[in-house]
Amino acid sequence: MILRILSACGVIFLGSLAFATDEGAPAVSLDPLGAELMDANGVWDASSDSSGKLWLAYYDAGRLLRLRGPDGDERLLVPDDRAQAPSGLALTGLRDGAAVMWRDKHPRKGLYFLTSASEDAKPAEVGDDTEPLARFVARSDSTGDVHLLWYGEKLGEPTGSEHNLYYGRWREADPAATAPELVMPGIYPVMTVKPSGDVMAFSWQPSEDGGRVYSRFRPAKGGEASGENRFQDAVVIAAVPQVTPIVRAFTSGERWLFVWLGQYGADRRDFRLEGAYSDDNGTSWTRFALDDLRGFDVASLQVAADAKQHIVLVVTARDRSANDDSKQNVFALHSADAGTTWSSAVALRRPTPVEQEGGTEDQDPLALFSARNPSVAFGATPGEVLAVWEDWRGIRAGIYAAVSRDYGKTWSTSVSPLMALAGANLGLRYEPNAIFPSDAGYSVVAERYSDDTLEKKRLVRLDIPSSRVVAIAEGAGASPWPGDTEVVKQALRERATAYWNAIKEGEFSDTYEYLDPFFRARFPLDRYLATMGRIKYSQADVEGVRIAGSIAEVSTRIRASIPEFRMPTTGELVSRPEREVTVKNRWLWIDGRWLKEFRVESQDVVFTRY
Amino acid sequence: MFAKNTLASAVAAAIGVSAVGVAQADSVFFPYAAISQTVTTIASVINTTANNWDQAGNIATTHLHYRFYYKSGPAVNDLLAPCEEYNEYLPTSQYDIQTIDLGGIFAAETAGVMFNDPSINNKWAQTGRDYAFGRNVAPARGYLYVDNSDGTVTDTLAGEAFMFEFGSGAAWGYQAYNSDTASYIPAASESPSNVAIMPFDEITTAFFVTPVDGDQAPDFANNYRARVEFVTSARGDLYDRDENLISGTIPQDVVCVGRVEAADMLSDGTRARVVDGGWARLWNYRVVPNATATSWVPAEFAADNSAVISPSADRNDWDDGAVVIKLEYNLGGTLNGESVGGVFNNSIMFAPE
């Protein structure tokens, strides 16, 4: 059942929605998650507890931090009479419930920690005098303890650095946090924790002769009284001149792994996705490089690893070795031996048949559209892996999926979005990993933009039944593209002709409706009308149409003049005699029709995001 | 247009009146100009001396020497494309001001000369020549260099410019630099300069970069190369608005003149994590090929001869290498998420050290 209320903020959904994207495909359902609107870049985190129940924490549009339990109840974690103070967020599932961590100024500046079991909802300050900044992680172990690593700027530390990493542990039994331990210099708190409570922390540090990646191991054995569970000496993993924020640690069985995006060369465009593993608790490390993506700038990285040495990495990446022009794409790499060897990088999007969609031998039309922020998870069926990502091939953002039945070795990719919601934009954030497996299939925490300004969003949950996963694996689905047929081209010619006829007649209220919705969302009709009418068109003939995916280039021969007018800003009289020129405009296939992309010629600005 | 350009350059070179040959000349340097169908650059040149040139480049009283270095067409957005040179001697007179639309959008019927300038003392109309140097090469970006023959210690040339986007009415401007020589190394923006970076989704931030040299008016073309990059600590980084350091910056090299998007100076992972912007130390310095000509490395100017430039072991804060102008403009009629009912266009020229 679909029940919608149109509001000033956009479309609010009440109750569950279930959509089939194409005839016969099993339905994916959509449910609202967060009760409140968020800024488009608002931070959130999600985690499952040991019983598989999903917990969610997020900042609403007023920057108030909220915790949502599996039953849908939400509570504010900060007083509701203030804003702009809390920042940063980490959430981790516990044996029963979840723990949240954030930085705040109230009641005093510090790092705050709260478990969902806390009855008085009074958070504990765990950062002490470390001057914590808004970057931290929390990881729970099988004992129920939560390990905390954060970035602080306390001066005068013996490391000689202004920027250091600190560790603390929340003991479920007390419950209380241990005193902060200075770990090492760094700005990215990267840590992984084994169920036993063993901890490995990582950091990149600059040095006179180039940077280095370090690890420090902290065993769980012994306990505080024995003095054994202290961080051991730092170990150099590798020499790396620079790293980006793409740094990720995880385990595969008993093996520790750390992956980073390094920057090499004077121009720092020699991007190298590389890593190292250790089987002796960080005493020694073996380095590896994922050279298929050398020169590719990575914007996001998520990991799925099981206990049987299977690892799948999914990344957002684009080649920036020579320039900054290419669009982002999504890739997967896998290992069947816990990272000792790695596969080639596989583009998760299915290449498009050239003859069907207007591509050329040199360029797949998919390369014209961004894809980003993939998430990945192993399923309940051995060997099954599901990857989902945000894809702009339909000009709007949609969620697409790919399935592997052999632990990531080969993939089947959907050519249609998981949900086809007319007029909606569904996206994913670069973190956290947003896909959660269950016995019934998978759940994905996605972001639904409130409108085409793409300024606000609301979190939603997509439930993907196992039957739909089977359909993806079998290649079901239909492309959102119109095709490159003569019928489609003729329809576009007619639509472009109608647009130009309205332009000639000065019917600008009509021409406004031909423009892309992202422009119209930001530029109301009255402002558009105020900018139109200076140029008088006497003739417009659509001459050529070229389609690639959901983009078309339309060539139109026009005759136009500028009658004399006075510039409002300078008083200058301006006019131009009639002349004939050919203009090329881009038209877009959106929501089942062709719309003209609005471009601010002087600034080369468009309002679309693909 | 191009034939006249080449001929004028060749004549100037043959008779030895390039900037290098006329060390005593005063000059004025407009470090950035842009021209397109909807953007133009209005430049005002103020000349207070009678020590000028004639139309052939000989010392006289009647002409100024204009050189417009530009890249046009597909090269406009090619940061590493060299410039071409438009080289012309055009009328002047002492105490004259001439305001020119370099694009010829305005004052199209008066050779680009604006605001009812009578062709009496400065006989610009009688020459039949065009002051709109970019009229036929739009879209283009470049810089303008003007000199006279004045050998006194007095500054005799000055200038101002403003960019005008006449579709929206947005405009920005700057004061041109002047010098007693052709060297504009002292005009380079301080490196590093702390720069504010606005939220990327709402405001576009770009840097116009013009490398400087001991000879800012080379013959025929300009292929001087400079680098801009964010390096705020040893981590190659910047700060977000919550005082978090974040690494992953990317240097950008520019030949002659170029427009560098701030977003392109960040790795994609960095860009995604600093959506609200922040601040960074912006470095600018000349680069030259290394000893094996396999990469471009930081350069330093010789202390005793600014025309000599050589590889350096690292970037130095005393070898500033480019004029850098920051431009900020909105995309969708909002600022801080609140409607502003139109567009804005702000510029800041980072001052020399």
Q: What is the pLDDT of residues B219-236, one digit of tens each?
A: 889 999 999 999 999 887
A-facing residues of B in 163-202 (CB < 8 A) are 164-169, 171, 201
Q: Are residues B270 and B194 in the same domain?
A: yes
Residue A289 confidence (pLDDT): 97
Average pLDDT over residues A537-542: 92
Burial of B152 (0-12, 13-18, 19+ CB in 10 A): exposed
Q: Say whether both B173 and B262 belong to one domain.
A: no
Per CB-CB distance under 8 Å, the chain A contacts of B268 are 297-299, 316, 318, 320, 328
Mean pLDDT of A184-202: 97
B176 and B216 co-located in one domain: no
Compute the average pLDDT of residues B95-103: 94
B45 plus B141 within the same structural domain: yes
Report how far apart, in Å, the C-alpha atoms of A378 and of each of A254, A334, A435, A561 are. Answer: 18, 12, 9, 62
Does a structural domain hold residue B227?
yes
Which strand (E) or helix (H) includes residue A119?
none
Q: Give the model's confidence band at A1: pLDDT under 50 very low, under 70 low, under 90 confident, else very high.
A: very low
ipTM at complex level: 0.91
Position A226 scores a pLDDT of: 64
pLDDT of residue B336: 84
Last residue of a domain, one of B157, B182, B207: B182
Q: Is B234 close to A206, i.e. CB distance below 8 A?
A: yes
| Residues B351 and B195 sit within 8 Å (Cβ to Cβ) | no
Cβ A299–B271 below 8 Å, yes or no? yes
The number of C-alpha atoms within 13 Å of A587 and in the hemisphere containing its C-beta is: 31
pLDDT at residue A9 in the model: 36
Q: What is the predicted pLDDT for the residue at B17?
A: 41
Task: Indicate if B166 and B130 belong to the same structural domain.
Answer: yes
CA distance A289 to A259: 9
Q: Which residue, B182, B213, B245, sits at the end of a domain? A: B182
Same domain, B159 and B193: no
Please measure the distance between the N-terminal and C-terminal CA atoms of chain B and give it in whole angstroms: 39
The range of the structural domain enclosing residue B209 comes to 187-349
d(C-alpha B174, C-alpha A246), whole Å: 40
Q: Please report the pLDDT score of residue A276 as a whole number.
A: 98
Tokens of A376: 């990945």
Choose the most confident range, by mean pLDDT, from A75-89, A161-175, A354-368: A161-175
Bigger pLDDT: A121 or B318? Answer: B318
Name the closest residue on chain A to residue B272, using Cα atoms: A299
Are B141 and B228 within one domain? Answer: no
Instruction: Please give the tally of structural domains in chain B.
Output: 2
- Of B182, B214, B238, which closes a domain? B182
- Give pLDDT, residue A359: 62
Token look-up 């909105």 returns B330
Instruction: For residues B221 and B153, state if they share a domain.
Output: no
Strands (E), A172-310: 176-177, 181-185, 190-193, 199-205, 212-218, 235-239, 242-252, 255-264, 270-278, 286-289, 296-305
A568-578: average pLDDT: 70
Which candidate in B232, B247, B286 is best for mutational testing of the A interface (most A CBs within 10 A)? Answer: B247
Q: What is the mean pLDDT of chain A?
A: 89
Whether residues B76 and B176 share a domain: the answer is: yes
My answer on whether B245 and B104 are in the same domain is no
pLDDT for res A223: 59
Phi, psi (rounded to 5 degrees) for B284:
-140, 135
Integer Rg of chain A from CA: 27
Give the model's pLDDT for residue A44: 98
Interface of B with A in 105-124 (CB under 8 A): 106
Same domain, B205 and B266: yes
In the predicted model, what is the mean pLDDT of residues A187-196?
96
Q: Is A571 exposed, middle or buried (0-12, 13-18, 19+ CB in 10 A)?
A: exposed
The mean per-residue pLDDT over the stretch A391-418 comes to 94
Is B286:B226 a contact under the CB 8 Å cutoff?
Answer: yes
Buried b or exposed e, range B120-133, using 16+ CB within 10 angstroms? eebebeebebbbbb
Query: What pLDDT is stored for residue A114 in this prediction?
Result: 94
Residues composing chain A: 610
Q: Which one of A303-307, A340-344, A596-600 scores highest in mean pLDDT?
A: A340-344
Pairwise CA distance, residues A555 & A177, whole Å: 67
**What's the average model confidence in pLDDT over A499-507?**
93
The reply to whether residue B341 touches residue A527, judged by beta carbons under 8 angstroms, is yes
Q: Report the alpha-carbon distance of residue A539 to residue A522 in Å, rounded.
A: 30
Give the start-to-end residue ranges of the domains of chain A. Answer: 1-32+295-330+354-481, 487-606
Do B249 and B197 belong together in one domain?
A: yes
Question: What is residue A275's predicted lDDT score, i.e. its pLDDT?
Answer: 98
> Between B123 and B84, whose confidence is greater?
B84
Report how far residue A312's alpha carbon sits from residue A376's, in angstroms, rounded to the nearest whole number: 8
> Chain B interface, mutation test: which of A324, A522, A535, most B Cβ atoms within 10 Å?
A324
Could you name the CATH architecture of A487-606?
A: Roll (3.10)
